[in-house]
Amino acid sequence: MPELRRDPIVGRWVIISTERGGRPQDVSMPSAPLPSASMCPFCPGQERLTPKEILAYRPHASEPDSPNWTVRVIPNKFPALHVEGDMGREGLGLYDRMNGIGAHEVIIETPNHKEHLADLPANRVEDVLWAYRDRILDLKKDLRLRYILIFKNQGATAGATLEHSHSQLIALPVVPTSVLEEIDGCRQHFQQKERCIYCDILRQESTEGTRVVLENPEFVCLTPYAPRFPFEMWILPKRHAGYFEECQRTQFEFLAPMLGEALRRMDTVLARPAYNFILHSSPLHEKTGDYYHWHIEIIPKLTQVAGFEWGTGFYINPVSPEEAAKALRDAEI
């Protein structure tokens, strides 16, 4: 059973998940090359290689765990958290722990091994967003779960271990530190001003214009004022909303093409980099609706600038967001 442990100083929870087996030092071995299409467990026809599917969109009715799907959601074969078991909350002197209760799922975004999320037409990106939403709404019924993290690692240097385009969902019994920090910041701003800080940012950015990459009736894609990473982008809904899963259908119709275009512009400017994206949405059962504003963060992984940053919380960024936004806007896609 994986274990959640809390750092007693800063309150950060980490998952200690040692079930992949092998000697501890083997984590340090260079990754094997990502498997090619012939042995890819995410390709149609190889459904037996994965755990049983949780959800699949099939344009023409077909059996579960058979081909002919466009999006398929499966449990992670090496889950960082398990659904079964009790919480096992416990104090050990100064320390706090609990069992690694939660869910860890994989959203296979396309049946085509070589296709990236950026390559999909808007209606198929929309399907991926619907899959995120459907899974969040389903998992939200389990009251032990407090937060759902949806993220994508594209490329080996961003942490992907399989080439076939996919995102991941981790449902947690705690709220991650980064989300708590954002929520605290939002709450403070709201208490002072009775306004959502992200709404204020959207107004200021839209007036200034220099950091806006894309805009449509429902969403804005911008490079943030104080980005940690070169070419970091945020996509924010214009309408104030705390919960991604409460998006209306028309919003997904505007989000999907913007997400695709943002990724294609990034791919053009940065020569198809490895990247992460992370969906920041409200904790499942806490009332943050007035002051928190869901959004997506896209972070290209440009290896030589990532250094000690993840160990210090301190960032040196060699590209201003104004330059990055201009290069992204000017890209010919």
Q: Which of residues 115-154 bind its own copies (CB under 8 A)?
A: 149, 151, 153
Which residues touch 91 (CB under 8 Å, ≥6 apart)? 97
> Judged by CB under 8 A, which of 51, 138, 306, 329 binds its own copies?
306
d(CA 30, CA 165) in angstroms, rounded, equals: 21
Number of residues counted as binding its own copies (CB under 8 A):
92
Tell me: does residue 8 bind its own copies (CB under 8 A).
Answer: yes
Question: Does 40 belong to an annotated binding site?
Answer: yes
> Judged by CB under 8 A, which of 107, 117, 222, 270 binds its own copies?
270
Q: Which positions from 216 to 235 touch its own copies by CB under 8 A, shown as an x/- string?
A: --------xxxxxxxx----
- Applying CB under 8 A, the span of 42-50, 105-113, 115-123, 308-316 interacting with its own copies comes to 308-316
- Applying CB under 8 A, the span of 51-59, 90-98, 125-133, 134-142 interacting with its own copies comes to 90-98
d(CA 168, CA 132) in angstroms, rounded, equals: 9
Q: What are phi and psi of 97, to 5 degrees?
A: -140, 165
What's the N-to-C CA distance of the chain in angstroms?
47
Nearer to its own copies, 186 or 255 (CB): 186
**Does the annotation mark 240 as catalytic?**
no
Strands 295-301 and 233-237: antiparallel
**Smallest gap from residue 48 Cβ to its own copies (A):** 26
Q: Which residues, 156 to 215, sit near its own copies by CB under 8 A?
A: 156-161, 176-179, 181-182, 184-186, 189, 197-198, 200-201, 204, 208
Burial-class residue 312 by CB neighbours within 10 Å (0-12, 13-18, 19+): exposed
d(CA 260, CA 253) in angstroms, rounded, equals: 12
- Applying CB under 8 A, the span of 47-55, 237-245, 246-254, 312-320 interacting with its own copies comes to 312-320
**Smallest gap from residue 249 Cβ to its own copies (A):** 28
- For residue 24, give the amino acid letter: P
* Residues 69 and 43 sit within 8 Å (Cβ to Cβ): no
Tell me: does residue 105 bind its own copies (CB under 8 A).
Answer: no
DSSP-derived secondary structure letter, 323? H
Question: Does 113 belong to an annotated binding site?
Answer: yes
Question: Does 116 belong to an annotated binding site?
Answer: no
C-alpha closest to that of 178 among 51, 292, 8: 292
Q: Which residues, 14 to 43, sit near its own copies by CB under 8 A?
A: 14-18, 20, 23-25, 27-28, 30-31
Q: Tokens for 258, please give them.
A: 């913007």
Which residue in this structure is represented by tokens 């709450």?
187
Tell me: does residue 80 bind its own copies (CB under 8 A).
Answer: yes
Exactly one of 104, 116, 166, 293 is catalytic; which is it? 166
Nearer to its own copies, 5 or 58 (CB): 5
CA separation, residue 201 to residues 7, 16, 211, 240, 249 (Å) = 32, 37, 11, 12, 25
Nearer to its own copies, 56 or 176 (CB): 176
Which residue in this structure is represented by tokens 């512009």?
265
Burial-class residue 296 by CB neighbours within 10 Å (0-12, 13-18, 19+): buried
Nearer to its own copies, 204 or 248 (CB): 204
> Judged by CB under 8 A, which of 48, 192, 249, 308 binds its own copies?
308
Question: Would you name the residues annotated as active-site residues?
Answer: 166
Write out the binding residues for Zn(2+): 40, 43, 113, 164
